[in-house]
Amino acid sequence: MKNTVEVNTERIDTIKALTEKDKEAYQVIRKANADGLSNNPLVADINLNNAKKNIKEDVDLAVEKGVLQKSIIEDTEKMKTLTTEVAEKEVVLKEQTTAYEALKADKTAVENHLRETKIGHETSKQSLVNYSGDLQSAVNELIYTGSGKFQWPVDGFNTITSPYGSRWGTNHQGVDIGTMNSNPSVLAADDGIVVAAEDNGDGFGNKVIINHGSKLVTLYGHLDSLKVSVGQYVFKGDIIGTAGNTGANFGNHLHFQVSATNQIYTDTLDPVGTYL
């Protein structure tokens, strides 16, 4: 027979009574004798005084010495293990939280850096555009400035058929150079850059406007054809078109107009004697 811990049966004589009187003791006995209890349908009414007579020795209704202590030790070890695991997980969680906060800080720093870089890039880009514009203006002024001394603008014809000044009650803003019924070449009066080459319905028909720098501009109107395009650099004497009869015109001729203030339509001067 196994060593056992006895239960006081003077006041509790059956397992059923034990259940009612001392539930904690009942749970201990039930745990220690799980197989014996579950295999005996009458166990609830077994008389504890006669337990050895009614139940085999290997299913004695008693708690083996050391079982409860062993269970407590095992539970304590499990508790220690769980406590250690929780502590370790807390350390890992703390490390992960610290790493996450660091990543958030890094992310914020990177976003701020990118924002500042973008702002700096846009500022630099605008500065470059402004500088490029200023530089281009300076280059244009340097390169596209003509000599200020014009050559005759029509090849082979030099007769002015309508001079600059008052005409038919209005001011004739340029001079007309007759070309008979032919279409001779029209020549750039000086070096410069083409700023217009079109017929925009203003009465000049096909026209070319050249900026010679230093606010000096020339206009060539009523052309039969255009030989240059906007943005093209031309030298004095280059063919820019042919004389004709386009726009508001009477017969083939070249209308030649000059401004010294960049105001080619409103502030003109007589080129004869000054530039021709």
Of 131, 242, 233, 136, whose CA–CA distance to 190 is shortest? Answer: 233
Which residue has better confidence, 271 or 126?
271
- Angstrom distance (rounded) from CA 30 to CA 202: 115
DSSP annotation of 14 reads B
Q: Which residues of 7-32 are buried (b: 16+ CB within 10 A; e: fewer)?
A: beeeebbbbebbbeebeebbebbbeb
| 2-55 pLDDT, tens digit each | 444 444 444 444 555 555 555 655 565 566 555 554 444 434 444 444 443 333
- Angstrom distance (rounded) from CA 256 to CA 190: 13
Tokens of 110: 């990177």
List, in sequence order, every residue forming a beta bridge with 170; answer none if it has no partner.
Answer: 167
| 194-236 pLDDT, tens digit each | 999 999 999 999 999 999 988 899 999 999 999 999 989 999 9
Taken in order of first residue, the domains within the chain and their CATH numbers are 4-65 (no CATH), 160-259 (2.70.70.10)
Q: Give the model's pLDDT for residue 66.
A: 44
Q: Best-predicted range by mean pLDDT among 44-48, 239-243, 261-265?
A: 239-243
Q: How far is CA 122 from CA 109, 110, 111, 114, 135, in A?
A: 20, 18, 16, 12, 19
Check pLDDT > 50 for residue 265.
yes
Q: Give the model's pLDDT for residue 47.
A: 44
| DSSP-derived secondary structure for 15-80 | HHHHHHH-HHHHHHHHHHTHHHHHT-TTGGG-BGGGHHHHS-GGG-SSEETTHHHHHHHHHHHHHH
Of 189, 275, 183, whose CA–CA distance to 238 is shortest? Answer: 189
Q: Give the model's pLDDT for residue 79.
A: 73
Report CA dihedral (77, 83, 84, 89) to the nearest 10 degrees. 150
| DSSP-derived secondary structure for 129-193 | HHHHHHHHHHHHHHHS---S-PPPSBTT---EEE-SEEETTEEE-EEEEE-TT--PEEE-SSSEE
Torsion-angle region of 201 (φ positive above 0: left; ψ -120 to 50: alpha; else: beta): left
Residue 212 · residue 192 · CB < 8 Å: yes
Tokens of 201: 């319905």
